[in-house]
Structures are given as structure tokens and as C-alpha cells.
Amino acid sequence: MPIASIKGHSIGFVNALFTATSAVCVTGLVVVDTANHWTYFGQMVIISLIQIGGLGFMTISTLLALIVGRRITLKERIVMQEALNLDELEGLVRLTKSIIITTFIIEAIGAMAFSAVFVPEYGVKKGLVMGLFHSISAFCNAGFDLIGDFKSFSPYVNNITINVTSMLLIIIGGLGFTVWMDVYHNRSFNRLALHSKVVLSITGFLISVGALFLFMIERNNPATMGDLSISGKILSSMFHSVSPRTAGFNTIDNAAFTSSSKFLTIILMFIGGSPGSTAGGIKTATAGILFFTVISVITGREDAEAFEKRISKTLVYRAFALAIISLFLVISVTMVLSISENADFLTLLFESTSAFATVGLSLNYSPNLSFIGKLIIAVTMFAGRVGPLTLVVALAQRAQKNKSNLKYPEDKILVG
């Protein structure tokens, strides 16, 4: 609607669809500058969609039902169970309440931390609005910002409060609601469930290794970290290792990265966050299962094992299926974009992966997408947000239906 635009006229259906999809899929890719194009009304629509998309439609539906006093049906509880990656229905509504309350508390704390920087710079009203907006955007791993001119957090590259607050919100939002509860109740790594151990281990590994490689590659690059102090380089390396976990903020221009750093970012984006979280990608748990399976094959073990627990072959099959289908989707989108767009291969692969993993990072190409390109990226964002969960649920249901005692004779295929 014209009321959403500062210029007073409609942005057009395709651009509006792209922005709405990016917001509700908590991606962060934009075709116009969020701060300079949208009015407060438009920004309110965007942040509302981000909150709904981050918490999940069923969680928001449960919140509204609790507010009006409506009873949660069994069908709704089953959908919520799948969305939150839980094994049983008992205590589901109570858990959902805890998730909602915890989310709002964390976002409020993040808003206060951001506001401590923004209020002195922009005034009380705008500073508080920016603090709340960026807190929700960071926690929901969305990557929308109100800094202006597509700069994201680059003016605050050396600001510890902005960097640390953003990273903590991104990591907490990307761990998953079930991991929160497990850590809260057990408070000891050895007592955690296998899922939580895998998620925390893979998350820590990716952040550490990503930061180390980015520091080594970019520390002398004059277009990125070359002019920063050693502490600034470390802070930037950490931030740009955390942000590809589907958050989409940046303190350094991604387009100025070397090809090595761009490709590393693509890998981090593709893996993404964790199941049952606000993040996208194939998820850390999936990557963990693939990693432990490869280790088991190399060491000659019959089953995939992790932390002295055996991972079922069913989960291994689902993980491989999800990873291969996701990779096929990213490759297919990149191929189609290479036909419709006028950009180099790495830029298009970066854009495709960012859309699929609902990250929001870009090599400054999103505003230049063609009409067809915008539609393709919008569909990819939707598929990346909804597709993996739908695929896993569908595979699980099909496996239950197709259980049979019939087994075909075994034969051999040459490998390698």
C-alpha cells in the first residue's frame, strides 16, 4: 500500500511479495533499503512478519488461542509437536508458553542493549524503535536493519555492544527451542540429550573454524579487515562467522571479501542453524549426522556413532536425502539465475544459497535482480524455510506407511 512507502506510492506487487516473503521466511534479502524506503507502518509490517516467521506460525497461533481462551485441539498439538521437533505431546502447550515468554524476555534484553547505543545517536523515540527492531531481527535470524543505505552494521564494525549483542541473539535464536530447555533443565554437557550435544558441538566448531579461516584470509585485505586493529579483526571474524548461521547482518561489505571467504560463507550459510530454531539451512544436526556417518565409515564401524550413542540408519538416510535435495535445489536455482541474470557465477551461487538458507547476506546484487530473478529468489526463500521441515515429516510418514517384511536380494555396485 502507498502508506507503507515514504514516497507515497506502491512499490509494486512483485517487490512487495519479495519483501513479505523475505520477512516471513526470516531471510533478510531486500530489493529496497528498509530504512529509507519504508514508513514506520511499512517497517511495523516487516518486523511483525519477522516475529511470526521466527517463532513459527503454530507458536503464534497458540499464543492467540491462549489470549482469547480457545482450547488447543489434538490436530494442532500434533502439528506443533512436529514443528518443535518433540517426541511426545505431553506438556506441549506449557512448553509453547515457555518458548513465547523466553523469546520476549530475550528480545527485550537485546533491545535494551541495542538502545544503549542507538538512543544517544538517534534520540529516545527512534533509538528505542531501532533497538527493538534489531533485537527481533537478530534473534529471529532475519537480518533486516534500519541503519540505511544497505550498510547493515558496518558503521559499528568496532562497537563491542552491537557486535556481541547481535552474535548472542543470533546464536541463541539459532540453537533451537528444545536445546534451550535441555540446557536449562540439565546444565551439564554430559547430562544433555544427544541432539543437544550434537547441535552445541557442531555450532561451536563451525563458529570457531569459520572465524579462524576468515581472520587468516581477510586480515590483510585493505577492502575488509586490513585497516582494523587486531581486536577489530578478531571481532569482525567472529561476527562474520556467526552471521552466516542465517542471520544476514554484516559489519564488512561481503562483496569486498576474497573468493575464498565468499565460498566459506556459502558453506556456512548452507549448513545454517539448528532444528526447531529461527534459523534455516540444512541444519547443524543434519551436518553432524553426515559427519559422524563419514567418520564411522572411515573407521570401519557398522553404525554411525556420536558421544557413545548409536544413530539409527533411518536418521542417516533422512539426513543424506535432505542434504542432497537441498544441494540440488541450490544448484538448480543457480543455473536458472545464470540464464535470467547478468552476474558472475559466485555472486549467483551466493544469492541462491542465501535465499535457500534464509540468511539474507548478499554481494549487493539483490536490488539488481530481474523480474524473473525476484520471483525465483522469493520461491527459493519460501522453499528454504518450509521445505526442509515438510520434507523430513513427509519422509517419516512415508517410512511408516511403507514398512514391509519384503526384502530384495543384495547385489554389488562399484564405488569410487
Q: Name the β-bridge partners of 216.
A: none
For residue 334, the model assigns a pLDDT of: 94
104 and 10 Cβ atoms separated by less than 8 Å: no
- Length of the chain in terms of residues written: 416
Is residue 319 within a helix (H) or strand (E), and if so which, with residue range?
Answer: helix 313-340
Domain boundaries defined on the chain:
2-399
64 falls in which pLDDT band (50, 70, 90)?
Answer: low
For residue 61, the model assigns a pLDDT of: 58
Residue 130 grid coordinates: 531501532
For residue 188, the model assigns a pLDDT of: 84
pLDDT digits (tens, 9 = 90+) for 226-283: 889 999 999 999 999 999 988 889 999 888 999 999 999 999 999 988 887 777 888 8
pLDDT digits (tens, 9 = 90+) for 324-379: 889 999 999 999 999 998 889 999 999 999 999 888 888 888 888 899 999 999 98
Q: Please give the Cα distance from 57 to 169 (Å, whole number).
A: 21
For residue 200, the model assigns a pLDDT of: 92
For residue 71, the model assigns a pLDDT of: 67
Q: Give mean pLDDT, residues 40-52.
A: 91
For residue 399, the model assigns a pLDDT of: 60
For residue 162, the model assigns a pLDDT of: 93
52 falls in which pLDDT band (50, 70, 90)?
Answer: confident
pTM of the model: 0.86
Closest CA to 385 of 26, 14, 140: 26
pLDDT digits (tens, 9 = 90+) for 306-330: 888 898 888 898 888 889 889 999 9
Higher pLDDT, 278 or 404: 278
What is the distance, to the nearest Å, from the Cα of residue 64 to the centroid of all Cα atoms in its chain? 25
348 and 237 Cβ atoms separated by less than 8 Å: no
β pairing state of 304-306 and 309-311: antiparallel
Higher pLDDT, 389 or 258: 258
Percent of the chain surpassing pLDDT 70: 87
Residue 44 grid coordinates: 511495523
Q: Distances in Å between the alpha carbon of 413 and those of 300, 318, 410, 416?
A: 19, 22, 10, 10
Residue 362 grid coordinates: 548478499
pLDDT digits (tens, 9 = 90+) for 80-112: 665 555 556 566 667 777 788 888 899 999 999
String of b and e for 282-295 (b: at least 16 CB within 10 Å)?
bbbbbbbbbbbbee
Higher pLDDT, 59 or 150: 150
Closest CA to 48 of 152, 144, 117: 144
pLDDT digits (tens, 9 = 90+) for 99-145: 888 888 999 999 999 999 999 999 999 999 999 999 999 998 888 98
Q: Is the dihedral of CA 225, 229, 230, 233 positive or negative?
A: negative
Residue 360 grid coordinates: 539474507
Judged by average pLDDT, the poorest of 38-52, 154-168, 375-389 is: 375-389
For residue 185, the model assigns a pLDDT of: 83
For residue 415, the model assigns a pLDDT of: 72
Neighbouring CB atoms inside 10 A of 116's CB total 14
Predicted confidence (pLDDT) at residue 296 exceeds the cutoff of 70: yes
